[in-house]
Amino acid sequence: MSRMSGIGQYVPGDSSVHRLDAAAKIGVVAAFTVALFVVRGFAGLAALGAVVAAAIAISRVPVRAVARGLRAVGFIMVVTIVFNMVRWQPTEALVRLGPLAIDGAGLRMGLFFAARILLLVTGTSLLTLTTSPVQLAGGIERVLAPLKRVRVPVGDLAMTLTIALRFIPTTAEEAEQIMTAQQARGASFDAGGPIARARAYAPVLVPLFFQLFRRADALATAMEARCYRGSEGRTRLVESRMGTADWVAMLVSGGVVIAVGVLL
Amino acid sequence: MALILDDIVCEYATGTALAAVALDAVSLTLSRGDLVVVLGPTGSGKTTLLRAAAGLLSVSRGRVEIDGLPASGRGSARGAVGLLFQRPESQFFSLSVAEDCAFGPRNLGRTPDEALEDARDALSAVGLDPVTFGPREPWSLSGGEARRAAFAGVLAMHPRYLLLDEPTAGLDAEGRRSVCEAIESARAGAGVLVVTHDAEMFLDSADRVLVLRAGRPVFDGDVPALLEALPRLSEAGDVDPPEVPRALMLARERGLLAPGTLTLDIDRAAALIAEGLSSGGARS
Amino acid sequence: MIRFESVSFRYRADAPLALDDVCVTLEAGEVVAVVGANGSGKSTLARLCDGLLEPTSGRVLVDGIDTAAPESLWDVRSMVGMVFQDPDDQIVGTVVEEDCAFGPENIGVPSAEIRVRVDSSLAAVGLQGLERREPHLLSEGQKQRLAVAGALAMRPRYLVFDEPTAMLDPAGRRAVLEITERLARAEGHGVLVVSHDITGIARADRVIGLDSGRVVFDGGPDGLLGDAGMMALLGLALSPAARLAAALRERGLDVPLSAADAESLVASLWR
């Protein structure tokens, strides 16, 4: 099971971060992302980091769940730091390694970029950690609503997204089971070169895709039987609308991060 | 020579807050020619038991041994165990049934011709004529045929032990019967461990029955002993009794039969009920 | 009433008839079992009930409305609820209550009313308390009951089940069977069940037997269970309890043919 709990997977809860409207959260995260890219120095990053830390604390999402997302980008962060700090012609050499040197300015730049990646991932994963996939799809639908005027089928896209999210755990289980079954028949997935390895996955991918297409077909029939005919005229069990609290929360927190970004 | 599980414990997510014991102190011996049936409600650890027996799962205590060799790791008895998962027909990937069945033997290092030969023999063994069924697309088979073809894919590897997860689930009466016949004939050359809800189909020929509840064995014995324990196991929700003993248990609740007389045999059950009715006369 | 008037159907112009001149009815408040071997046309018949398929010739009328009329198609679909074999193929929502709400949402039911329907439908199938559970954490039996609740939330008059218990364990099978019977007997829904399950067949009000797309049996379950030739033609085998009942009849005991499960068998002997 642990293999399936992926990065940024929803952790149900009842904190004020959880209860904030999904569209508002998307707004805040967008503002946060902008702030991250206009911020100039470590002070700004530290301030934004404090904002994220506060949000995590309020959301009561386990730090472990947040950290899981960071493991995946850890490598990228390390590469960023190493590539920035190691130079041929250092401006302020800290340590010399033959023709190469670790450069002080480069190190600072690497750390700055790495911290930016760290905060970007933490901020966005906090969105998915505190928002159920369906709320998220609904939020995206409302954020993109203006595009309906130019005939973009926003509602259908949101439905597609919801269904994809619904079937991720089911498909992961199926994939795991097919893989184990083929292993039990002597298949090995880690022997040989890249081509041999890619070929070894055919006994997993062929049945998995076959199953997915079959399921897609059956699901379409079931949805039709349940009167699905596009997003036109659909109502919702929970009509989400941005309340005053959501607007206030979005504008205040959005304003704060932008201010931090511009000022520091 | 046997597949032996000796006092094994399996945990999920060991060392984390989510750690849970999936199997606790389970022991089992499967010899060639044996049919061992594992019963228990959904989530009782039946599938974990199969995976542990196949060496696909490491045990945190105890040992799994196949003919004297460890089930996993270096020097393990590779190919000795055949494992059939639930709904195995969802694992077909070749364009013909015969090719799909030859996949296992190929992985064991058999030449393509030898592997196809193994596949054809295995198809015959499960009652599918290799000439008719070998060239067909696996996806064109009926439920029972597909299940048996998948079973042939395992048999083609000549395993000494067969581990089967819900082999009759989702099949109609005809499909269930055909799968059971295939299993019965495979028993000649292998020990068979069946994990199932379908007590009805397998108890008649089982040598031994293990009942799990939340990963712990709550019954371990032969079929007569199981019938003895059936009221207790049924009450606790561990075993869904087969229809015939179930009818006898219900009749017993009405106070008509002496205790200790549960049976799977239809004629004997009919005699017991008729006798009870005529002597008891409680019928209104 | 759902009425099939000389319905024939083929999937492609060059394919053989999947259904051949079928005339059957389903009344409100009755449970009708549809039986037949693989490929006999059972699932085709089920899919014709709510306009998922249109007859090649003949008509299907749901309370007098033709399922082939495009303008009333969605009315028909909300009047006839469908439940399919594999629960995973019909669950759309990422949590239980969202899935249950899917049908009413599609036909534009106001939010407050959807909430009422979702709560009562989930209660009707015994899933109250699991509203926020994710579908992949449910047992197969619970998933199938969720599919039933999803159909009920449309407030249909008829329910069509296509092998609803084939993938369930015995406990799940019994629960779904009890729910289908209660929906017909207590709530007055017309229930059509495509099934191999002898227990369900024996407890139906009427059985329709199909062979190669033709109706070869239409009558009470007793008539079918007592007819070995017809049972074989329809690919059915007696359950062990039904065989026990037969053995008791041979001993001169008065056990009805419909006593095909342990409960009804014992109940018929100790009334």
pLDDT, tens digit (0-9, with 9 covering 90-100), for B190-240: 999 999 988 888 998 999 999 999 889 999 999 999 999 999 999 998 898
> Does residue C251 sit at the B interface (CB-CB below 8 Å)?
yes
Query: Do A218 and C89 contact (CB within 8 A), yes or no?
Result: yes
Q: Which residues in chain C have their CB less than 8 angstroms from residue B200's CB?
A: 240
Predicted local distance difference test score (pLDDT) of residue B16: 59
Pick from A219, A229, A235: which is nearest to C89 by CB?
A: A219
Pick from B172, B240, B274: which is nearest to C170 by CB?
A: B240
pLDDT, tens digit (0-9, with 9 covering 90-100), for A18-53: 888 888 898 889 888 888 888 888 888 898 899 899
Of the residues B172, B179, B198, B275, the best mutation for testing chain C's interface (the one with the most C CB atoms within 10 Å of its CB) is B172
Query: Do B211 and B36 contact (CB within 8 A), yes or no?
Result: no
Say yes or no to pLDDT of B143 above 70: yes
- Domain, as residue range, for A26: 16-166+240-263
Q: What does C111-151 look like in DSSP terms, one character per residue?
A: HHHHHHHHHHHHHHTT-TT-TT--GGGS-HHHHHHHHHHHH
Return the residue matching tokens 């970007």.
A120
Among candidate residues A19, A13, A1, A22, the one with its CA nearest the CA of residue A140: A22
Average confidence score pLDDT of chain C: 91
Query: Encoding tokens for residue C127?
Result: 């899933």
> Does residue C233 sit at the B interface (CB-CB below 8 Å)?
no
Query: Encoding tokens for residue A168?
Result: 């991720």
> Does residue B170 sit at the C interface (CB-CB below 8 Å)?
yes
Interface subset of B 33-52, CB within 8 angstroms of A: 51
CA distance B105 to chain C (A): 31
Contact A165 C94 (CB under 8 A): yes
Give the pLDDT band (50/70/90) at residue B162: very high
Pick from C241, C269, C270: which is nearest to B243 by CB?
A: C241
Mean pLDDT of C25-51: 92
Q: C2-237: what fold?
A: Rossmann fold (3.40.50)
> Averaging pLDDT over each range in A97-101, B74-78, C133-137, which range is the top one?
C133-137
Task: Please tell me which residue of chain A has the smallest CA distance to B85.
Answer: A181
Q: Which residues in chain A have their CB less than 8 angstroms from residue C111's CB?
A: 235-239
Residue A113 lies in a domain: yes
Query: Encoding tokens for residue A112?
Result: 């700055």
Report pTM. Answer: 0.82
Which of the other chains make 3 or more beta carbon contacts under 8 angstroms with chain A?
Answer: B, C
> Does residue A155 sit at the C interface (CB-CB below 8 Å)?
no
CA distance A211 to chain C (A): 11
Contact A233 C108 (CB under 8 A): yes
Predicted local distance difference test score (pLDDT) of residue B284: 42
Instruction: Name the region of B12 (left: φ>0; alpha: ψ -120 to 50; beta: rest).
Output: beta
CA distance C119 to chain A (A): 11
| Residues facing C57 on adjacent strands | C8
Contact B42 C169 (CB under 8 A): yes
Q: Which residues in chain A have their CB less than 8 angstroms from residue C74's CB?
A: 227, 229
- Rounded CA-CA distance B244/B261 in Å is 12
Pick from B43, B172, B247: which is nearest to C196 by CB?
A: B172
> Does residue C116 sit at the A interface (CB-CB below 8 Å)?
no
CA distance B276 to chain C (A): 11
pLDDT, tens digit (0-9, with 9 covering 90-100), for C166-196: 878 778 888 888 998 999 988 899 999 998 8
CA distance A170 to chain B (A): 14
Residue ranges per structural domain of chain C: 2-237, 238-271
Count of the separate structural domains present in chain A: 1
Say yes or no to pLDDT of C34 above 70: yes
